[in-house]
């Protein structure tokens, strides 16, 4: 995508330069623009009249009629782009009257829309939102009403637009009543009235796709342009002309027009009418939908790769592919994301879309016991599954046939992660298995990568690679690059003389203030501007001469704290993400940022929730109270989910995150500060982890929130004053962005060499392979062999499936590939010599082969103990095998030291249970795992667990460790292995049929830390709070409510009941509302059938039928109330709350009637 | 030569219009009911690069000044109400009868009278009246041979955003593009600071800046005009930056009659240098005694129905 800070683009927009003429030269304009960028970074937004005039000229130059001789569409687009960029910078100039700023804003928005930088139009709207008058009398701002309507429309913020239109249309109705006219046409109010009505119809059109609305809007706009609506309102004419032009383009980019022929309208509606609303598509999304060959939305396209930059709207593309497939083909869809935060994001976005589509998202299911997919008809079933690669792989391992049964489409997001870290091979091997299924459509989405052609050819060797991949360079916000470094303010040093002592001679100690300096360079050709935070701390040195100040004395401000101070400073302009190397760095950085921020009331709800979940003294709670947080994989899922939500809503100002792609934050922010060494960084010491180009690009891609701001800022930290060349680190060479298999990394090849050596000495050596690429490869080979062996009519060579591995198919490193194949042959020999039954079991565990063999051995022992128990207790047993309850199972496992054994023998578990008495130079502490696990499962709150596990250790540190151990050991490693173990025990062929089985949900209880089936149901159904699930679960268990009865019982409490009885917070309420929801499909009913019926609750007896209004929920009154004459007459029940809210937010003009105990909603009559 | 309406001054200070609307209206009617009928244009600076005209009032009586204020008030309300005959009638009949409408009728009149005048900011009202002076004096000029006005917009009804501008487009058969336009920058000089020459200089220096927005918007707003005019209007900014002879500039100054200079616009070509062709620059000076109070009179006629 073309950027405007480019002399060539500006020269083309400006036309031939004439010295002494009206317009500046391209170089002068570029200089003015870069100066403005720097000023904007400083928070100064004043623009010179001459520069603004240039923006208006460019806006006018773009008005050239296409019929004009010499019309040049490219030049027009560039004029728009340059003008919009300048206007965007000018719109914040508060010296200018509001009316002028509104015009500047509209010009910027129209320009951005016309040069295909659509999200920036929304960002501009956010800057002038406060100037939109929806409360004052119409007559006092009739002169700007048309511009206001244009600005709020092009902002595409549905809630704001709906509110403004409701208010203005009501006011216009009142004006018509006063004037005693049906229309205000040909009065002073006529043009603005027509623009407001046109905007209303456009809004309706984009929501419902009804062509009549588009026609009405265009007719009204023509009335304004021809002055049929009234004379003397030049601004309205200008706005109308733009909207008229844009209406055609919007219609062409509306989903209703772009979805392939035959796609039901419900698909477009599912995007237009759910949150976040999609009214028009961004350029790459439009292009994707218009692809003639290999269109991934075409059900006939079997293989496709969508490779676009971060912030190009890739997630929405995935949603379009999914919803479009569901509407056209039978069978379920599996969405695979290696990024857990992206999975969570997709889960919340798709839920609303599917709701409008009349489809469902499947609930999260436990790994053990593993069932086949639940059908959509079942309470926890659905049409779309959102899984990690590990999860889907696990399903295939355990049930090769059932796992992919009825699956019509698999969408793999962030597919370039197949080249990333430990988890990359899981994705690569999963893709290899999926590749073998020609009957399942496979659509990959990836960031922009250098070798998309290679991936495309691998994906579908039968077609031209350019028909298999789709790519586009467009991305949302512009980016400003900078470096940040600590600087000694030597001229302000204070010198202190220390008198001589018996052991030392006299000394001078210099106390030197330190500042964070931002070095900013808007373009590669720009001069570097330096900006400072001012003093953020001090350092002390020996000696009075700055040349002596090389090594600071202890206790001075360290670099990360300087950068944190800089980060805090930047929160004034929007949210900041600081990318750091380790979890500890993330925590420390967030705490340091928080020190510079005042308490933040907007973050209080999150802080309160986290205090309940983690304990008030947990460091995360402390920093969140000031609007800063940290994010890494050792925090519980519900905590990460809540933190991400708060960042998205703007409740949080700053977040520090580890750099690991798969565990990182997937959300955009205004500013990214990379406090991490990057590949090729000369400062890196041996063995230090550096950011790969892909990781760096991913971090950079987070800078700039499309629709929030038109520019993102990205800073790389440096420990000293950098050289200009160091800016280049922020522009990785595209060639470096090649996706390569993790099998071909130096580390993997080293592990291969080690494995070769091991196997040379001992054929059983494959069971000793652990925690390496070779171990993962061996497990996969074992699985491939097992799958081949269990197929009814095996075809081809057992190892043929390995050809599907990306690394082995297009490696370019044939020698290494041969070695991997040779290793596979050795594994095959071992497989051949292994009893098929255990061989199959080992393939299914999902651990290393060594751990699998150990688990199998342990399972056999436990089966023997079970048999023995059954023999000893034969009297009370029935013929049918019973499943022990959870507590009995835990007793049994603890009695046989199972948790200690797993900790000792499974390398997957061992490192994840570790405690120290203090963080720095601490001594290891032993915390017995079995009692700790029992406490955790019984629902004990984390602060109490921390005290119990590490009495006497400072609370903050004890909480930090408790949370980390729970997340990594109970949340992942131990729950996985225990699940696999119980599965092996319960299916052990030696176990007599009548012997009781261990509780199959034990692993799921361990993962979530709850002890009732009901709590698990709630947690599986999307309730993320362990606390509320535990409380509700315990009570429901006492009352005997299960499945649907549990849902109804929960719903009966309603929001006020949850708050009063269980102290439910905002986060918990949202989850519970989703859980109790009865799908109602109100919007489709209103559009298609005219009316929608909602049963009501808490009806005031004796209320007659008739018109009512709906009062939206507020902090004091959290339910939706049905109101007549300012009195509540009924309430929307909890299970309908979200659907009614979605209906109210849909932008449809509605009227409501009470009929008996039902609410009947229909569309209000349209004005024209 | 300008009129001396000094006898009005004392009465005006008590905030009343001494000439009732009815008499002002009758005087206006008697004179022809157009501003041009109450004024005279005197060509000046014919030897200069920037020629200009001085507009002075003709009559000597307070009623003449009142008639001019009435005409402007009436034109403003006519434009605002347009097809809303009831609204216009309610305002006019009440003002002329010296009565005030009540209830919904009052609300009705308020809707039209409110913009600019409800806020009652002297600077804003004076600037607004200055725009109407220029507009009415231009609109009612006798036709010129060889060219006809095709676009002349009335001032914006309500916006006070610091950029009063005007534009006239003439059809000129035989010219390069078939049309020519002149972009006007309008200023008021109320004698509170500097000199008229300073105001004129600033106006010329600003014409590119202030005019850019007007042209930028107008070039878009003309999309529904006849095809030849639409193409011309759409390319106006291009003509302007290319310094085509079709683009011209003008500066209009409204000022107190007592401040009228004998020479003006003589240095305009040194302030506005981008356009140098013959006739590229033009000046207009409208001399009204006590301009600010004249603007207040206009407001009083409009507001006296409320």
Interface check for B240 against chain A (CB to CB < 8 A): the answer is yes
Say if the Cβ atoms of A53 and B155 lie within 8 Å: no
Nearest to B159 among A63, A143, A187 (CB): A143
Task: Report the distance separating Cα A1095 and Cα A1089, nearest Å.
Answer: 17
Considering only A685-689, A942-946, A1098-1102, which range has the smallest mean pLDDT?
Answer: A685-689
Task: Report the distance separating Cα A395 and Cα A844, nearest Å.
Answer: 9
User: Is position B24 within any domain?
Assistant: yes
What pLDDT, in 10s, does the model give residues B85-103? 999 999 999 999 999 999 9
Considering only A104-118, A124-138, B210-224, which range has the smallest mean pLDDT?
Answer: B210-224
- Residue predicted with more confidence, A1051 or A762: A1051
Say if the Cβ atoms of A142 and B107 lie within 8 Å: no
Dihedral sign for Cα A291, A296, A298, A301, please: positive
Measured at the CA of A1101, the angle between CA A1097 and CA A1104, to 5 degrees, comes to: 100
The Cα-based distances of A441 to A298, A304, A335 in angstroms read 10, 9, 12
Interface check for B83 against chain A (CB to CB < 8 A): the answer is yes
* Top-ranked range on mean pLDDT: pick from A177-191, A684-698, B59-73: A177-191
Interface check for B61 against chain A (CB to CB < 8 A): the answer is no
| Number of structural domains in chain B | 1
Interface check for B42 against chain A (CB to CB < 8 A): the answer is no
The phi and psi torsions of A206 (rounded to 5 degrees) equal -65, -25
What is the mean pLDDT of the segment spanning A749-763? Answer: 90
Say if the Cβ atoms of B79 and A188 lie within 8 Å: yes
- Residue predicted with more confidence, A362 or A199: A199
- Please identify which residue in the block is written with the tokens 């008499």: B23
Mean model confidence pLDDT for chain B: 89
pLDDT of residue B9: 39
Task: Report the distance separating Cα A1061 and Cα A1075, nearest Å.
Answer: 18
User: Is position B36 within any domain?
Assistant: yes
What pLDDT, in 10s, does the model give residues B106-136? 999 999 999 999 988 888 899 899 999 999 9
- Pairs of residues, one from chain A and one from chain B, whose beta carbons lie less than 8 Å apart: 183
E strand or H helix at A945, and its extent? helix A942-949
In angstroms, the separation between the Cα of residue B248 and the nearest Cα of chain A is: 13
Confidence class for position B252, pLDDT limits 50, 70, 90: very high
**pTM for the full model?**
0.89
Mutate to test the interface with B, among A26, A57, A84 (most CBs of B within 10 A): A57
Exposure string over A491-506, b if 16+ CB within 10 A, otherwise e: eebeeeeeeeeeeeee
Task: Report the distance separating Cα A227 and Cα A18, nearest Å.
Answer: 37
Which two three-digit tokens encode residue A1121?
Answer: 């109330």
Mean model confidence pLDDT for chain A: 90
In angstroms, the separation between the Cα of residue A80 and the nearest Cα of chain B is: 11
- Residue predicted with more confidence, A505 or A622: A622
Task: Report the distance separating Cα A140 and Cα A133, nearest Å.
Answer: 10
Task: Report the distance separating Cα A957 and Cα A624, nearest Å.
Answer: 17
With a CB-CB cutoff of 8 Å, which residues 181-200 of chain B face chain A? none
Whether pLDDT at A315 is above 60? yes
Interface check for B241 against chain A (CB to CB < 8 A): the answer is yes
Say if the Cβ atoms of A226 and B230 lie within 8 Å: no
In angstroms, the separation between the Cα of residue A65 and the nearest Cα of chain B is: 6
**Which residue in chain B has the smallest CA separation from A60?**
B216
The phi and psi torsions of A656 (rounded to 5 degrees) equal -110, 135
Say if the Cβ atoms of A189 and B111 lie within 8 Å: yes
Say if the Cβ atoms of B111 and A20 lie within 8 Å: no
In angstroms, the separation between the Cα of residue A48 and the nearest Cα of chain B is: 10
- If DSSP codes are grouped into helix, strand and coil, which group holds residue A403? helix
Task: Report the distance separating Cα B138 and Cα A837, nearest Å.
Answer: 101
What is the mean pLDDT of the segment spanning A362-391? Answer: 71
Interface check for B102 against chain A (CB to CB < 8 A): the answer is no
Which two three-digit tokens encode residue A1085?
Answer: 């009913």
Dihedral sign for Cα A1086, A1088, A1091, A1096, please: negative
Whether pLDDT at B14 is above 60? no
Strands (DSSP E) contained in A967-1124 are 1091-1095, 1106-1111, 1121-1124
Contact A340, A663 (CB under 8 A): yes
Q: Which residues of A touch B162 (CB under 8 A)?
A: 96-97, 100
Whether pLDDT at A732 is above 80? no
User: Is position B122 within any domain?
Assistant: yes
Q: Which residues of A touch B241 (CB under 8 A)?
A: 15, 21-23, 57, 61
- Residue predicted with more confidence, A277 or A155: A155
Confidence class for position A363, pLDDT limits 50, 70, 90: confident
Which two three-digit tokens encode residue B94?
Answer: 């009440």
Which two three-digit tokens encode residue A178?
Answer: 């006063």
- Please identify which residue in the block is written with the tokens 């239109």: A165
Task: Report the distance separating Cα A103 and Cα A242, nearest Å.
Answer: 12
**Which residue in chain A has the smallest CA separation from B106?**
A178
Q: Which residues of A touch B160 (CB under 8 A)?
A: 97, 99, 143
Say if the Cβ atoms of A53 and B220 lie within 8 Å: no
Mutate to test the interface with A, among B106, B221, B228, B272 (most CBs of A within 10 A): B221
What is the mean pLDDT of the segment spanning A198-215? Answer: 93
- If DSSP codes are grouped into helix, strand and coil, which group holds residue A846? coil
Task: Report the distance separating Cα A535 and Cα A83, nearest Å.
Answer: 38
In angstroms, the separation between the Cα of residue A59 and the nearest Cα of chain B is: 6
pLDDT of residue B13: 38
In angstroms, the separation between the Cα of residue B31 and the nearest Cα of chain A is: 27
Whether pLDDT at A276 is above 80? no
User: Is position B286 within any domain?
Assistant: yes
pLDDT of residue A374: 57
Nearest to B224 among A60, A61, A225 (CB): A225
Contact A362, A380 (CB under 8 A): yes
Mutate to test the interface with A, among B104, B110, B157, B205 (most CBs of A within 10 A): B157
User: Is position B235 within any domain?
Assistant: yes
Contact A436, A799 (CB under 8 A): no
Say if the Cβ atoms of B217 and A235 lie within 8 Å: yes
Whether pLDDT at A48 is above 70? yes
ipTM score: 0.94
Q: Which residues of B touch A103 (CB under 8 A)?
A: 161, 213, 217
**How many CA atoms lie less than 13 Å away from A89 in the CB half-sphere?**
30
User: Is position B19 within any domain?
Assistant: yes
Whether pLDDT at A98 is above 90? yes
Task: Report the distance separating Cα A611 and Cα A618, nearest Å.
Answer: 7
Interface check for B205 against chain A (CB to CB < 8 A): the answer is no
Domain of B164, in residue numbers: 9-303
In angstroms, the separation between the Cα of residue A201 and the nearest Cα of chain B is: 21
- DSSP for A569-618 reads HHGGGS-EEEEESSHHHHHHHHHHHHHTS---GGGHHHHHHHHHHH-TTS
**Which residue in chain B has the smallest CA separation from A171?**
B111
Task: Report the distance separating Cα A521 and Cα B33, nearest Å.
Answer: 63
Say if the Cβ atoms of B118 and A144 lie within 8 Å: no
Contact B165, B214 (CB under 8 A): yes
What contacts A1032, CB < 8 A, 6 or more positions away? A1014, A1015, A1018, A1050, A1062
Interface check for B78 against chain A (CB to CB < 8 A): the answer is no
Say if the Cβ atoms of A22 and B160 lie within 8 Å: no
- If DSSP codes are grouped into helix, strand and coil, which group holds residue A856? helix
E strand or H helix at A112, and its extent? helix A98-114
Distance of CA A490 to the CA centre of its chain: 44
Per-residue 3-state assignment (H helix, E strand, C coil) for A700-741: HHCECCCCCCCEEEEEEECCCCCCHHHHHHHCCCHHHCCCCC
Contact B271, B204 (CB under 8 A): yes
What pLDDT, in 10s, does the model give residues A446-494? 887 888 899 999 999 999 999 999 999 888 888 889 999 999 999 999 9
Contact A729, A714 (CB under 8 A): no
**Which residue in chain A has the smallest CA separation from B276?**
A21
Confidence class for position A875, pLDDT limits 50, 70, 90: confident
Nearest to B111 among A139, A141, A240 (CB): A139
Q: Which residues of A touch B82 (CB under 8 A)?
A: 186-188, 190, 230-231
Say if the Cβ atoms of A188 and B112 lie within 8 Å: yes
pLDDT of residue A1089: 76
Which two three-digit tokens encode residue A1075?
Answer: 């859980």
What pLDDT, in 10s, does the model give residues A974-1011? 998 999 999 999 988 888 888 999 999 999 999 999 99
Question: % helix / strand / coil in chain B, to the nearest 5?
Answer: 50, 20, 35
Say if the Cβ atoms of A241 and B79 lie within 8 Å: no
Interface check for B89 against chain A (CB to CB < 8 A): the answer is no
Nearest to A232 among B114, B156, B215 (CB): B156
Say if the Cβ atoms of A15 and B118 lie within 8 Å: no
In angstroms, the separation between the Cα of residue B134 and the nearest Cα of chain A is: 15
Task: Report the distance separating Cα A397 and Cα A785, nearest Å.
Answer: 11
Say if the Cβ atoms of A187 and B112 lie within 8 Å: yes
In angstroms, the separation between the Cα of residue A126 and the nearest Cα of chain B is: 21
Dihedral sign for Cα A171, A172, A176, A182, please: negative
Contact B265, B50 (CB under 8 A): yes
Say if the Cβ atoms of B160 and A99 lie within 8 Å: yes
Peptide bond into A276 cis (omega under 30): yes
User: Is position B86 within any domain?
Assistant: yes
Residue A386 gets which letter from DSSP?
Answer: E
Q: Which residues of A touch B230 (CB under 8 A)?
A: 65
pLDDT of residue A1166: 45
In angstroms, the separation between the Cα of residue A89 and the nearest Cα of chain B is: 16
- Residue predicted with more confidence, B7 or A876: A876
Task: Report the distance separating Cα A711 and Cα A703, nearest Å.
Answer: 8
User: Is position B1 within any domain?
Assistant: no
Number of CB atoms found within 10 A of residue A82's CB: 30
Number of CB atoms found within 10 A of residue B146's CB: 11
Interface check for B303 against chain A (CB to CB < 8 A): the answer is no
């Amino acid at each position: 995508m073309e950027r405007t800070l480019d002399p060539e683009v500006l020269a083309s927009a400006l036309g031939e330069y004439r010295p002494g003429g009206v317009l500046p030269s391209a170089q002068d304009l570029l200089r003015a623009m870069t100066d403005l960028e720097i000023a904007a970074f400083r928070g100064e937004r004043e623009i010179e009249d001459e520069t603004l005039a240039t923006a208006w000229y460019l806006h006018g130059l773009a008005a050239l009629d296409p019929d004009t001789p010499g019309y040049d569409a490219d030049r027009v687009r560039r004029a728009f782009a340059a003008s919009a960029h300048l206007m965007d910078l000018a719109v914040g100039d508060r010296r200018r009257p509001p009316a002028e700023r509104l015009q500047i804003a509209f010009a910027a928005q129209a320009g951005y829309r016309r040069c295909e930088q659509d999200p920036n139009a929304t960002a501009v709207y956010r800057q002038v939102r406060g100037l939109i008058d929806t409360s004052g009398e119409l007559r006092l701002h009739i002169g700007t009403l048309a511009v206001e309507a244009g600005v709020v429309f092009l902002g595409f913020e549905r809630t704001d637009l709906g509110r403004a239109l409701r208010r203005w249309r009501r006011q216009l109705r009142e004006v018509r009543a006063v004037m005693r006219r049906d229309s205000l046409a040909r009065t002073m109010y006529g043009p603005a009235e027509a623009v407001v009505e046109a905007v209303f119809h456009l809004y309706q059109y984009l929501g419902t796709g009804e062509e009549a609305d588009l026609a009405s809007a265009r007719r009204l706009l023509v009335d304004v342009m021809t002055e049929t609506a009234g004379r003397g309102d030049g601004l309205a004419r200008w706005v109308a002309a733009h909207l008229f032009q844009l209406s055609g383009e919007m219609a062409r980019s509306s989903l209703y027009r772009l979805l392939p022929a035959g796609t039901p309208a419900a698909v477009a509606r599912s995007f237009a009418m759910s949150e976040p609303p999609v009214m028009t598509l961004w350029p790459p999304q439009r292009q994707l939908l218009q692809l003639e060959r290999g269109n991934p939305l075409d059900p006939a396209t079997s293989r496709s790769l969508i490779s676009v930059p971060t912030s190009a709207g890739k997630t929405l593309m995935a949603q379009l592919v999914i919803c479009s497939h569901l509407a056209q083909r039978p069978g379920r869809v599996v969405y695979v994301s290696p990024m857990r935060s992206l999975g969570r994001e997709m889960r919340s976005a798709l839920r609303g879309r599917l709701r409008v589509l009349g489809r469902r998202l499947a609930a999260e299911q436990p790994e053990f016991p593993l069932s086949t997919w639940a059908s959509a008809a079942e309470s926890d079933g659905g049409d779309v599954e959102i899984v990690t690669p590990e999860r889907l792989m696990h399903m295939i391992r355990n049930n090769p046939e059932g796992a992919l049964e009825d699956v019509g489409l698999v969408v793999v997001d962030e597919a370039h992660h197949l080249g990333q870290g430990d988890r990359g091979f899981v994705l690569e091997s999963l893709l290899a298995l999926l590749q073998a299924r020609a009957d399942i459509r496979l659509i990959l989405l990836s960031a922009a990568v250098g070798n998309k052609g290679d991936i495309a050819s691998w994906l579908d060797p039968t077609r031209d690679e350019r028909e298999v991949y789709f790519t586009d360079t467009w991305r949302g916000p512009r980016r400003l690059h900078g470096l940040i470094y600590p600087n000694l303010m030597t001229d302000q040093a204070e010198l202190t003389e220390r008198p001589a002592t018996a052991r030392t001679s006299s000394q001078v100690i210099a106390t030197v203030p330190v500042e964070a300096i931002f070095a900013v360079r808007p373009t590669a050709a720009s001069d570097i501007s330096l900006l400072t935070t001012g003093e953020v701390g001090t350092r002390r040195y020996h000696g009075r001469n700055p040349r002596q100040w090389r090594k600071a004395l202890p206790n001075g401000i360290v670099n990360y704290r300087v950068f944190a101070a800089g980060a805090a400073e930047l929160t004034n302009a929007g949210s900041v993400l600081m990318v750091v190397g380790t979890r500890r760095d993330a925590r420390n950085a967030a705490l340091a940022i928080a020190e510079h921020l005042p308490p933040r009331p907007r973050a209080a709800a999150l802080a309160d929730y986290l205090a309940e979940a983690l304990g008030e003294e947990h460091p995360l709670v402390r920093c969140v109270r000031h609007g800063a947080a940290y994010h890494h994989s050792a925090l519980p899922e519900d905590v990460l989910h809540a933190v991400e939500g708060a960042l998205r809503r703007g409740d949080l100002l700053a977040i520090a995150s580890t750099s690991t792609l798969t565990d990182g934050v997937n959300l955009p922010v205004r500013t990214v500060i990379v406090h991490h060494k990057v590949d090729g960084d000369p400062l890196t010491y041996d063995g230090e982890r550096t950011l790969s180009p892909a990781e760096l690009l991913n971090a950079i891609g987070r800078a700039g929130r499309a629709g929030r701001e038109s520019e993102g800022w990205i800073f790389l930290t440096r420990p000293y004053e950098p050289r200009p060349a160091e800016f280049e680190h922020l522009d990785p060479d595209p060639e470096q962005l090649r996706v390569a298999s993790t099998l071909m990394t130096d580390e993997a090849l080293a592990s291969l060499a080690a494995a070769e050596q091991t196997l040379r000495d001992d054929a059983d050596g494959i069971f000793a392979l652990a925690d390496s690429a070779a171990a993962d490869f061996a497990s996969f080979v074992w699985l491939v062999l097992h799958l081949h062996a269990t197929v009814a009519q095996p075809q081809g060579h057992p190892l043929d499936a390995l050809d599907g591995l990306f690394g082995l198919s297009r490696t370019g490193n044939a020698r290494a590939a041969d070695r991997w194949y040779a290793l596979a042959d050795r594994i095959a020999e071992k497989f051949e010599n292994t009893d098929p039954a255990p061989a199959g079991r080992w393939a299914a565990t999902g651990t290393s082969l060594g751990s699998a063999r150990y688990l199998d051995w342990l399972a056999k022992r436990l089966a023997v103990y079970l048999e023995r128990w059954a023999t000893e207790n034969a009297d009370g047993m029935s013929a049918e095998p019973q499943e022990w309850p959870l507590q009995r199972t835990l007793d049994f496992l603890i009695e046989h030291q199972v948790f200690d054994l797993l900790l000792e023998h499974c390398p997957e578990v061992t490192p994840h249970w570790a405690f120290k008495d203090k963080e720095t130079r601490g001594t290891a502490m032993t915390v017995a795992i079995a009692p700790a696990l029992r406490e955790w499962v019984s629902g004990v709150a984390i602060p109490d667990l921390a005290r119990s596990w590490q009495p006497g250790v400072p609370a903050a540190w004890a909480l930090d460790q408790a949370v980390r151990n729970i997340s990594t050991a109970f949340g992942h490693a131990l729950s996985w292995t225990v699940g696999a173990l119980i599965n092996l025990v319960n299916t052990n062929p030696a176990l007599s049929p009548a012997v009781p089985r261990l509780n199959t949900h034990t692993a799921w209880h361990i993962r979530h830390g709850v002890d009732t089936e009901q709590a698990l149901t709630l947690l599986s159904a999307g309730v993320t709070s362990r606390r509320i699930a535990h409380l509700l679960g315990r009570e429901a268990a006492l009352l005997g409510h299960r499945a649907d009865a549990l849902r109804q019982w929960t719903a009966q409490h309603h929001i006020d009941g949850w708050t009063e009885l269980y102290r439910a917070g905002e986060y918990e309420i949202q989850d519970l509302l989703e859980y109790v929801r009865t799908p109602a499909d109100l919007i489709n009913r209103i559009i298609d059938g005219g009316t929608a019926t909602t049963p009501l609750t808490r009806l005031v007896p004796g209320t007659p039928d008739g018109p009512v209004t709906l009062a939206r929920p507020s902090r004091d009154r959290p339910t939706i109330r049905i109101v007549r004459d300012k009195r509540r007459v009924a309430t929307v029940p909890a299970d309908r709350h979200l659907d009614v809210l979605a209906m109210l937010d849909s932008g449809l003009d509605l009227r409501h009637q009470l009929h008996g105990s039902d609410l009947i909603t229909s569309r209000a009559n349209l004005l024209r | 030569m300008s009129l001396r309406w000094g006898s009005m001054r004392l009465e005006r200070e008590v905030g009343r219009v001494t000439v009732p609307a009815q008499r002002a209206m009758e005087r206006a009617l008697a004179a022809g009911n157009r501003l041009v009928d109450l004024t005279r244009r005197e060509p000046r600076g014919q030897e200069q690069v920037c020629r200009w005209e001085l507009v002075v009032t003709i009559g000597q009586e307070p009623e003449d000044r009142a008639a001019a204020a009435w005409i402007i008030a009436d034109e403003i309300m006519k434009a605002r109400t347009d097809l809303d005959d009831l609204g216009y009638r309610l305002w006019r009949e009440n003002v002329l009868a010296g009565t005030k409408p009540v209830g919904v009728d009052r609300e009705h009149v308020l809707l039209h009278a409110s913009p600019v005048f409800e806020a009652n900011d002297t600077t804003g009202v004076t600037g607004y009246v200055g725009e109407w002076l220029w507009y009415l004096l231009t609109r009612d000029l006798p036709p010129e041979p060889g060219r006809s006005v095709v676009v002349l917009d009335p001032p914006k009804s309500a916006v006070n955003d610091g950029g009063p501008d005007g534009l006239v487009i003439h059809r000129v058969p035989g010219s390069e593009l078939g049309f020519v336009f002149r972009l006007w920058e309008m200023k008021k000089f109320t004698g509170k600071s500097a000199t008229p020459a300073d105001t004129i200089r600033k106006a010329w220096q600003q014409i590119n800046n202030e005019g850019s927005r007007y042209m930028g918007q107008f070039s878009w707003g003309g999309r529904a005009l006849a095809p030849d005019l639409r193409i011309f209007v759409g390319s106006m900014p291009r003509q302007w930056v290319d310094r085509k002879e079709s683009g011209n500039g003008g500066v209009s100054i409204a000022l107190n009659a007592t401040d009228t200079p004998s020479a003006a616009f003589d240095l305009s070509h040194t302030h506005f240098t981008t356009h140098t062709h013959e006739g590229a620059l033009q000046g207009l000076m409208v001399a009204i005694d006590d301009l600010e109070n004249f603007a207040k009179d206009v407001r009083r006629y409009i507001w006296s129905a409320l």
